[in-house]
Chains A and B, each alone.
Chain A
Amino acid sequence: MELLKAKTLSSPVAWRSGIRQAFADVPALAWLLGMLGAVLIEYLWGDTLAVMLYLPKVPPLFGATLVLKKPLLFPWALLYGLLIYVLPIGVIARVSAATANRVAKALERLPVSVSALLHLVLLYAVLSIWTENSDYRLQVSKLIMIAVMLTLSINVINGYMGEFSCSHPGFMALGAYVASVLTLVLFKDNRLFGPALLPESLGPFLFPLVLFIGGMAAAFGALIVAIPSFRTRGDYLAIISLAFLFIVKSAIENIEWVGGPRGLGGQPHWSTLPAVFAGMILCIWIINNFVRSTLGKALNAVRDNEIAADAMTVDTRRTKMVAFMFGAFWAGVAGGLYAHEVRHVTPGSFGIQMLAEILAMVYFGGLNSVIGSIVGAVSISMISEILKPLGLYKWIVVPLILILVMIFRPTGLFAFRDFNVRKILRHKG
């Protein structure tokens, strides 16, 4: 028996399944506790450890950027990652698994929202401690969360409803510009619009409203794409939506009072970590609610067969309109958040390249899946951030990854999965 065990453990496959088995009963709560422990350890002793390991500073994104610049530091960066992240997360998750399971089980008797809230508070704590370390980390995290919103919102149209829409950066630009103009007119003295109409201290409280209006502007723009979609499908709609993207871009370039091609700057820095986090969670929650309801499943029916959907009483026009406007709304909100994070938007930034990035995220992560959108947005933005030192070659690596995914998993990594919060938070022991 002992011998057999030793023998099976020697192969890598057995190792992997062994590790998986060892962590099979670890619930989400314990993983979060492990991450919390890891980021706390980094917060307290990260600097000391970095010095000890000959690293110039705490590696901001798991040391990958550093390694690309100075390959010789690879072993030390790896060791840092092991000591700060892998080891503490593994140990704490394993040790706290039993207690966490008991807590998770107790939470299951309460409404799922209580448990979800607790997990979210933990996740937020992890994020805020982790981003404490450097502004770079903070900005990357916020942009990743905005990317999650974008990916999810385009998934509503391209994945759940199966129309190939290329107008998403256009919707985002609408949201970004409308929200920026609103905050600049209302709350900020500036060169373009003159003195503020309202005290600036009121701004952060009215920021959600500003984002909402930006989102509604994008949703209104979506009507222009939605109406041709009643008659056109596939390639033709892709072309129409691409045309819409260029219309928005050229229109903004030619409106001088929003800065024209030079762009619009000076937005207040209101996209703080809590604001972006809350926006992303709200987006995930509402979109997930929608696509799991029967009204949302109508999108899938329109995608798979429109004639049958019609014959089964589904109002296909209304469904398409709702999907386009809903997806565009969230793109607009994400655009507003983006504008108040980078604090300078130009029409040029909402072009084909951004479209390519968004499409890469959604097709990499997986169509028709909330979890796929999250995975796709996080991994593609992380990869493209990490590969920044490669310069232009980044645009060889990212598409290459995409091609490989399309060959081996044509619908993306996590396509057609239901995102069931109850199941994710469930106890496992």
Chain B
Amino acid sequence: MSLLHVKDMTHYFGGLRAVYQYHLTIAPGEIHGLIGPNGAGKTTVFNLITGIHQPSEGTISLQGKSLLGLRPHQVAASGLGRTFQNMLLWRHMTVLEHVKLAHYAQIQYGLAGAFFGSRRRNAEEARIEENAYRLLDAFNITRFADQIVTFLPYGVQRRVEMARAMAIRPKILFLDEPTAGMTPEELDQMIGIIRKLHDEFKVAILLIEHRLKFVMELCQRVQTLVFGEVIAEGTPSEIKKNPAVIEAYLGKEEVA
């Protein structure tokens, strides 16, 4: 049974066709890659599925339940976690607060509890904190727990963002260029982190990436998006050989 199912999704920004008849099926536990040149509409696909924009046409469903018309926080709460290309962290908050706050939808106390510091609120806060520390441990960033994110190294910030996304207990995780701006060593580390995360949390992953090495190592299936349309789909090795993909990335070979 498929976990996430997107069918014939089309989106226009005014007169610009950003995504055209996009389709996607992700099985539980799968790692799916989405590649394509700049401006191909990869991030738009993310934003459409996560509810930031509503698609002009098409259907999106998670475990058979439609996500259309839901607001972004509802989409997220139904099990869809994501990271952002330019890491949208909360610059005045500590690492621990980031991960704790992503438990928002799971909080079991109301406003009255928050105002008067009820026993239930304290118990809930303790539970959330414990859970947050478990996630920090998993991403190996416990020692930064009480630091403001702004001053942390780039690689750590990336891990904070992933830990935060995992705190919403996603069934499927969207990673938008997790290696942007990373050195080759950090890239290898990130591959390890994503593997570990995939094995430990049993989460399916949809990955936008530019670096083919990364995609080839991690993904089971890859889609190539050009001008909002899927031009090729298959296993990484198939994609690598596909002439349409090579053309989109490197341009047409010219006969001298």
| Residues of A bordering B, CB below 8 Å | 286, 289-290, 293-298, 300-301, 303-305, 307-317, 322, 368, 416
Contacts and interface: CB of A to CB of B under 8 A. Distances in A.
Contact of B104 (A303, A307, A313, A416): A313
Most B C-beta atoms less than 10 A away, residue of A290, A300, A310: A310
Given A293-B121, A311-B72, A322 B111 contact: yes
Q: How large is the interface on B (under 10, 10 to 19, 20 to 34, 35 or more residues)?
A: 35 or more
24 contacts: A290-B115, A293-B114, A294-B107, A294-B125, A296-B114, A297-B97, A298-B101, A298-B104, A301-B93, A305-B90, A305-B91, A307-B84, A307-B88, A308-B84, A308-B88, A309-B90, A311-B50, A311-B72, A311-B73, A311-B76, A311-B82, A311-B84, A312-B164, A313-B168
A307 B52 contact: yes
Nearest to B97: A297
B90 A290 contact: no
B121 A312 contact: no
Nearest to B148: A416
A323 B245 CA distance: 50
Nearest to B110: A295
B102 interface: yes
B168 A300 contact: no
B128 interface: yes
A137 B92 CA distance: 39
Given A293-B125, A294-B100, A295-B111, A308 B90 contact: yes
Contact of A305 (B82, B89, B97): B89
Nearest to B46: A311
A300 B128 CA distance: 18
A304 B92 contact: yes
Most B C-beta atoms less than 10 A away, residue of A301, A309, A312, A416: A312
Nearest to B93: A300
A293 B126 CA distance: 11
Nearest to A312: B102
A286 B104 CA distance: 20
A313 B93 contact: no
Nearest to A297: B101
Nearest to A411: B92
Closest 3 CB pairs of A and B: A304-B90, A308-B88, A313-B105
Contacts of B167: 312
Contacts of A308: 84, 88-90
A308 B99 CA distance: 12
Interface string B36-63: 0000000000000010100000000000
Contact of A294 (B73, B90, B117, B128): B128
Contact of A316 (B73, B100, B103, B168): B73
B101 A314 contact: yes
Contacts of A293: 113-114, 117, 121, 125
A301 B90 contact: yes
A310 B100 contact: no
B114 A289 contact: yes
Contacts of B92: 300, 303-304, 368, 416
Nearest to A289: B117
A289 B73 contact: no
A300 B90 contact: yes
Contacts of B102: 312-313
B116 interface: yes
A205 to B, nearest CB: 22
Nearest to B128: A294
Contact of A286 (B84, B97, B103, B115): B115
B107 A295 contact: yes
B104 A289 contact: no
